[in-house]
Amino acid sequence: MNNEDAYTFLTAQKNKTITSLASSFIVLNNLEETEHDTVRRKFSTLREDRREYLKRADITTWNAIPYHTPLKHPRLSTGYQCSDEVMVIGSVSSSQSTSVFEEDFSKPTRKPLRELSTKGLRSRLSSLLTHLEKVAVQENVSSKELSCYLMMLCSQTEYDFTTTKFRKEIIAKGSFGPVCNKLTCDKAAFLMDSLEIGKKKYIDLRRLLLSDVQLPGYNRLATYRSQICLTNDIFSVDREHRVGIAVSYKKLLTHTVNRILTASANEIPSASNPQRIRISDGLDGSGSHRVYQQATHPNISTKSFILFGFKVISISDTDNKLIWKNPLPNSPFSIRPVAILALQENEDNIRYLMDTLINKESTEITEKGLELTSGFCEVEIQRSQLDGKMAKIISGAGGACCQFCTATFKQIHDPDIVKDGFPINRSITDLKVLFDEVNEEEFLSLSSDNRFNVTHRPISDLEIIPSSPLHAYLRCFGWFLHLISHLHAGVFKWSPTSKRVSDAKTFVTSLIKDNLNIIIDIPSTQGGTTTTGNVVRRCLIRKDDNDQDFLYWVLTVIPSEFKSHIIEIHTCLGAILRVYNSSRRVDTEELALVCSNIYQSILCAFPWANVSPTLHKLLAHAPEIISTFNDGHGLENLSEEGLEASNKYIRRYRDRLARKFSFEENLKDVFVRLISHSDPMLLMNRKFSIPRPPSSQGLRSSQDILVNTLIRDHEDHNDD
> Residue 185 in contact with residue 218, Cβ under 8 Å?
no
Domain range enclosing 566: 469-634
Q: Where are the beta strands (DSSP E) in 291-446?
A: 305-317, 322-325, 336-341, 370-372, 375-385
Q: Are residues 533 and 550 in the same domain?
A: yes
Q: Where are the beta strands (DSSP E) in 360-462?
A: 370-372, 375-385
Q: Are residues 198 and 244 in the same domain?
A: no
Q: Are residues 64 and 177 in the same domain?
A: no
Residue 230's nearest CA partner among 686, 685, 682, 679 is 679
Q: Are residues 507 and 604 in the same domain?
A: yes
Q: Are residues 478 and 603 in the same domain?
A: yes
23 within some domain:
yes
- The residue type found at 489 is A
Name every residue whose Cβ is closer than 8 Å to that of residue 384 and which is 6 or more positions away in sequence. 280, 282, 464, 465, 466, 467, 629, 635, 638, 639, 640
pLDDT digit string, tens, across residues 538-581: 999 988 888 888 999 999 999 999 999 999 999 999 999 999 99
700 within some domain:
no
Q: Are residues 201 and 93 in the same domain?
A: no
Which residues are registered as beta bridge partners of 336? 310
The stretches of 517-562 forming alpha helices (DSSP H) are: 533-540, 550-555
Q: Are residues 221 and 254 in the same domain?
A: no
Residue 289's nearest CA partner among 533, 665, 654, 660 is 654
pLDDT of residue 37: 47
Q: SS3 of 313, please?
A: strand
Q: Are residues 238 and 364 in the same domain?
A: yes
Single out the residue in 205, 228, 251 at which a domain terminates: 228
More confident residue, 224 or 195: 224
pLDDT digit string, tens, across residues 467-520: 889 999 999 999 999 999 999 999 999 988 889 999 999 999 999 999 999 999
pLDDT of residue 160: 44
644 within some domain:
no
Distance separating alpha carbons of residues 271 and 264, to the nearest angstrom:
6
Q: SS3 of 47, please?
A: helix
Name every residue whose Cβ is closer than 8 Å to that of residue 447 and which is 6 or more positions away in sequence. none
Residue 271 has pLDDT above 80, yes or no: no
430 within some domain:
no
Q: Are residues 11 and 96 in the same domain?
A: yes
460 within some domain:
no
125 within some domain:
no
Q: Are residues 219 and 242 in the same domain?
A: no
Name every residue whose Cβ is closer than 8 Å to that of residue 147 and which is 6 or more positions away in sequence. 208, 209, 211, 212
Is the four-CA dihedral 170, 171, 174, 179 of positive or negative sign? Answer: positive
Spacing of C-alpha 595 from chain mean position: 32
Distance separating alpha carbons of residues 246 and 50, to the nearest angstrom:
60
- Count of other CB atoms within 10 angstroms of residue 378: 15
Q: Are residues 224 and 337 in the same domain?
A: no
- Backbone dihedral angles phi then psi of residue 351, each to the nearest 5 degrees: -65, -40
Domain count, the chain: 4
* Radius of gyration, CA atoms only, the chain: 31
Residue 458 has pLDDT above 70, yes or no: yes
pLDDT of residue 299: 65
182 within some domain:
yes
- The 8-class DSSP code of residue 356 comes to I
Distance separating alpha carbons of residues 667 and 367, to the nearest angstrom:
32
Which residues are registered as beta bridge partners of 213? 181
Confidence of residue 601 (pLDDT cuts 50, 70, 90): very high
Please write down the long-range contacts of 694-699, taking CB distance under 8 Å and 24 or more positions apart.
694/543
Q: Give ∠ CA 119-122-128 in degrees, rounded to 5.
A: 165
Residue 167 has pLDDT above 80, yes or no: no
> Residue 594 in contact with residue 390, Cβ under 8 Å?
no
- Count of other CB atoms within 10 angstroms of residue 246: 22
490 within some domain:
yes
- Count of other CB atoms within 10 angstroms of residue 445: 10
pLDDT digit string, tens, across residues 289-335: 877 766 656 666 778 899 999 999 999 887 788 888 888 888 999 99
pLDDT of residue 295: 61
Residue 369's nearest CA partner among 279, 268, 476, 461 is 279
- Count of other CB atoms within 10 angstroms of residue 490: 11
- As a whole number, the mean pLDDT across the chain is 77
Label residues 595-622 b or e (16+ Cβ within 10 Å = b): bbebbeebbeebeebbbbbbbbbbbbbb
Q: Are residues 473 and 570 in the same domain?
A: yes
